[in-house]
Amino acid sequence: MIEDKRLVFDTISHQFDKWREKYTPELFDFILKECQLDSSKKCLEIGPGSGQASEFAINSGCKYTAIELGKNLTELMKAKFGNKENFRIINDDFEKHDFENEHFDFIYSAATIQWINQEIAYKKCFELLNENGYLAMFRMWDDLKSPNPELYEEIRQVYDNHFVSEIPYTCKFDYTKGTDYGYTYLGQFKFYNSRNYTAEKFSEYIKTHADHITLKEENREPFYEGIKTAVRKFGKIDINSIYVLDLYQKRGTNE
């Protein structure tokens, strides 16, 4: 059994890279403009995974650093971006890593910071940011219910009957608490997209979710067969995606 649930994605690094959805370009365009990310800035991405939200920052020309806990995901990132002069990745635990005297103009996380102790995450990012630097935290919400209410109910029944995770997701991170740690809150911003899957592809996609990776072995086959059977009945499954960004700034004390 995986003892540290933060490493579950590292056990399926190539499947994660193939099936995990990227974020909408509108989100990246907004961040680039609002945070003025360019070749003059230093950037830190916390937990890039296999790079679903890395390319926009690297392509901005900024001095990009990532810190990734998983060894396999670190190697995958190196294979993808190692030829970029402005790319660097550290294979270590963000909570424990000593950045020495290094500071950044922009720190961000795509659905990763929630795996870190909330107090450590906010405080350490604040210490690492230059004055007027930005902290951007975003994640994706999948809405299955609105576009397919009948299918959603059948899928929910499959979960009720067969879904038991070995180490359930217990992360508790409040993305709106940054002001408690000295940040200025610039707001929550939402971006929208939609996509659809066949039964087989939807099954592969949800296998990249943390609780699904640690699904009990005896539940695995009946669960995924139940999901595929439900989706096949309706031909496909539609998903409305909501990309949620919480944006903060470390304002100078004289402002």
pLDDT digits over 4-26, tens only? 777 889 999 999 999 999 999 99
H/E stretch holding 219:
helix 217-234
Contact (CB, 8 A) for 37 and 43: yes
High-pLDDT (> 70) share of the chain, % = 96
Q: Provide φ and ψ at 198, rounded to 5°.
A: -75, 170
> Could you tell me the two tokens for 20?
């995990």
Residue 255: pLDDT band with limits 50, 70, 90:
very low
DSSP SS3 for 117: coil
> Could you tell me whether strands 104-110 and 42-46 are parallel, antiparallel, or unpaired per DSSP bridges?
parallel
Residue 254: pLDDT band with limits 50, 70, 90:
very low
- For the residues 211-229, what does the mean pLDDT come to? 94
Residue tagged 């939200």 (tokens): 53
Read off the pTM: 0.94
- For the residues 190-212, what does the mean pLDDT come to? 95
- For the residues 57-80, what does the mean pLDDT come to? 97
